[in-house]
Amino acid sequence: MKKSILLCIILFFAAGFGIFPFFSPGIPITHDGVDHTARIANFYQSLTDGNIVPRWAGNLNWGYGHPILMFLYPLSSYVASFFHSLGFSFIDSVKIIFVLGFLGSGLTMFLWAQSFLSLESGIVAAFLYMFASYRFVDLYVRGALGEHVAFVFAPLVLYFSQKLVKNNTLSILVFGSFSLAFLILSHNAISLMFFPFIVIYMTLLILHSKKKQQIIQSFVILLVLGLGLSAFFWVPAYFEGKYTHRDILTYGRYRESFSSFSRFISSPWSFEGIGKLSVEVGKVQWFVVFLGFGAIRYLFKNKKNFLGRVLIICLITFWLTIFFMTSSSDFIWEKITVLQKFQFTWRLLTLSVFSASICGAIITQLIPKKIKKLFIATLVVLLLIFNKDYIRANGYISKPDSFFSGIYFGTTDTGESSPIWSVSYMKEIPDAHLAVIGGESKVIELKRLSTRHVYKVSAKTKTQLRENTLYFPGWNILVDNKKVPIEYQARNNMGVMTFFLPKGEHTVIVQFTETKLRIVADSISGLTFLVVVIFIMKRFLSCIYRK
């Protein structure tokens, strides 16, 4: 136990080398860093407005609002909102997540690898997982917050799956379920690409278990609970995507990110975008992958069948991901359209780095004790040397919180989450929140929250008004507490809401509510959480009764 704690401390101190640029003032200039911060500011505003599940970003898109919160991974936004509520700025809250995500990913990989190997192998897996060039592309080039957080939870799901086989308890099952839920809430695409690996690994654990039926039951419950706990997010994100530009703007875009095989072995560091950013897997990662081929025969010869099969799965995963990132796999991407939801082929480097890390851990397990410390020290030093030039920011940007919480001139994506009846993004701030476009009326704004706008309207004649908010399913307009028809598909209004008022004094409420689908999804998550709480309480009371 003491040795394990000591190794974790060493791991944390060494990991600090990979994140020291975050301790400078401002946030590193990246492709998405500022947009992530603005999105989180809108998420926080919606939370403080009383929305437990924020789905609408009221100040994005030049003040017309945007449904992007419904479609992009909320976990990092919840965590950042927590830190902001403690007094940290929005920028510092985002930086904290990047730092914790990097450290956390090393810790969870260490936990998983050492659970079926050794402490030394766990350390090697953690270093290979953290110190891969793609990790620093995410940190200092792309600023890929959600993807970065997902690195924490993939090993954690597998760790609790491993623990379930050895000790099939309710607490481990619950932790495993929440780990899977957090993986899904961390990043849509990354959780989707990890899901097959998780299922295959669980299948392998079942095959090597003596209590197969019991383990199958536990794994099924873990998967169902994980999916249920996160249903409030992934169900609407998947099924309501048909109302957006997602399938139009992302169709075929994956082809832009194909790379030649040589670039995965060596590609120059760059702060530029698609086609120019580095997709290098890592020299040390390649080294342990090639060593893995020689280790397979040794493992089976010495009847270490479980490790042999894990190694085979990791090697197959590694080479499949490399293949799928080259243009040779285009015909598969074309036919299996769910792959196109990954958006960029090089996102599969997440799995490449992941599988290479376990290859390295298994190789370490086989190294003779006499030279094991030297082998580990050499790997760690080489990882630090080969990655030292990648651990740097391309400058910094500092903005006050008001910049992010006020009207933001973008949607924080490329327009794929914009409503299909609208343009990808607006181009100017509206003159008024509620504008008179026909007739004669006087408008007084009484209250404005992210998802609830209240007006007092004195209409001298029958009046047509335009609520300068993009329409998306869930928006309703109530005139004197009665719903009125909404028009949002007129070309000249570009997806914003228009409606008519009769002559007279009126109270107008424009409110964003949950659709039937979202209510079902929320209910699934709520009921799943309730079931988990009931089981925990039942077990707790049972333990007290026995005592």
For residue 455, list its beta bridge partners. 445, 508
Q: What gap in Å lies between CA 30 and CA 22, rounded to an integer? A: 12
Do residues 2 and 112 make contact, with C-beta atoms less than 8 angstroms apart? no
**Mean pLDDT (whole number) for 241-247:** 90
Which pLDDT does position 152 carry in this prediction? 98
**Mean pLDDT (whole number) for 19-32:** 95
Is pLDDT above 70 for 211? yes
Q: Could you tell me the pTM of the whole model?
A: 0.95
Q: How far apart are the first and last CA of the chain?
A: 28
**Mean pLDDT (whole number) for 190-208:** 96
Q: pLDDT tens digit string along 485-531?
A: 999 988 788 899 999 999 999 999 999 999 999 999 999 999 999 99
Is pLDDT above 90 for 329? yes
**Mean pLDDT (whole number) for 132-161:** 97
Q: What gap in Å lies between CA 365 and CA 374, rounded to an integer? A: 13
Residue spans of the domains in the chain: they are 2-21+30-50+57-264+280-393, 434-513
Is pLDDT above 60 for 38? yes
Do residues 400 and 431 make contact, with C-beta atoms less than 8 angstroms apart? no
Is pLDDT above 60 for 337? yes
Is pLDDT above 90 for 249? no
For residue 264, what are the CA distances in angstroms to 34, 125, 277?
28, 20, 11
**Mean pLDDT (whole number) for 185-197:** 96
**Mean pLDDT (whole number) for 1-12:** 70
Which pLDDT does position 9 carry in this prediction? 76
Which pLDDT does position 393 carry in this prediction? 94
Do residues 32 and 397 make contact, with C-beta atoms less than 8 angstroms apart? no
**Please, which pLDDT band fits residue 413 given cuts at 50, 70 and 90?**
confident
Which pLDDT does position 4 carry in this prediction? 66
| Mean pLDDT across the chain | 93
Do residues 114 and 158 make contact, with C-beta atoms less than 8 angstroms apart? no
531 residue type, one letter: V
- Reference 363, options 290, 264, 281; nearest CA is 290
Which pLDDT does position 491 carry in this prediction? 78
CATH of domain 434-513: 2.60.40
Which pLDDT does position 301 carry in this prediction? 86
Which pLDDT does position 457 carry in this prediction? 96
Which pLDDT does position 304 carry in this prediction? 87
**Please, which pLDDT band fits residue 60 given cuts at 50, 70 and 90?**
very high
Q: pLDDT tens digit string along 259-306?
A: 999 999 999 998 987 778 899 999 999 999 999 998 998 898 888 899
